Amino acid sequence: MIDVRDEFFNAGNEDQPHAWLLHVNFGYPLCDAGSVFCYDAEKIEPLDDPAARKYFGAGDGAYKRVPAPLKEHHGQNSVVAYLYPKAVSAAGDVTVGVVNERLGFGVALHYNAREFARCGNWQHWGEHEYVGALEPMTGGVEGRDKDRAKGWLLNLPAGGRRSYRYKIEVVSDEAGMGRLLALNEGAKR
DSSP codes joined into one string, 113-182: TTT--EEEEEEEEETTEEEEEEEEESS-SS-HHHHHHHT--EEE-TT-EEEEEEEEEEE-SHHHHHHHHH
State residue 188's pLDDT score: 58
CA R_g for the chain = 17
Q: What share of the chain has pLDDT > 70, as a percent? A: 98
Q: Does 153 score more than 90 pLDDT?
A: yes
Q: How confident is the model at residue 58 (pLDDT cuts 50, 70, 90)?
A: confident
* The CA-based dihedral angle spanning residues 175, 44, 78, 17, taken in that order and rounded to the nearest 10 degrees: -100
Contact assessment for residue 40 and residue 186, using Cβ atoms and an 8 Å cutoff: yes
pLDDT tens figures, 10-29: 999 999 999 999 999 999 99
Contact assessment for residue 38 and residue 106, using Cβ atoms and an 8 Å cutoff: yes
- What does the alpha-carbon distance between residue 51 and residue 88 come to, in Å, rounded to a whole number? 31
For residues 148-159, average pLDDT: 97
- What does the alpha-carbon distance between residue 19 and residue 106 come to, in Å, rounded to a whole number? 28
> Would you list the domain boundaries of the chain?
2-188
pLDDT tens figures, 60-119: 889 999 999 999 999 899 999 999 999 989 999 999 999 999 999 999 999 999 999 999
State residue 91's pLDDT score: 96
- Which candidate, 117, 140, 126, places its Cα nearest to that of 71? 126
Q: What share of the chain has pLDDT > 90, as a percent? A: 92
The whole model's pTM is what? 0.94
Q: What is the chain's mean pLDDT, rounded?
A: 95
Q: How confident is the model at residue 187 (pLDDT cuts 50, 70, 90)?
A: low
Q: Decide the pairing of beta strands 118-126 and 129-137.
A: antiparallel
State residue 189's pLDDT score: 46
State residue 40's pLDDT score: 96
Domain 2-188 top-level CATH class: mainly beta
Dihedrals φ, ψ of 99, to 5°? -130, 135
Handedness of CA 33, 122, 20, 85 (dihedral sign): negative
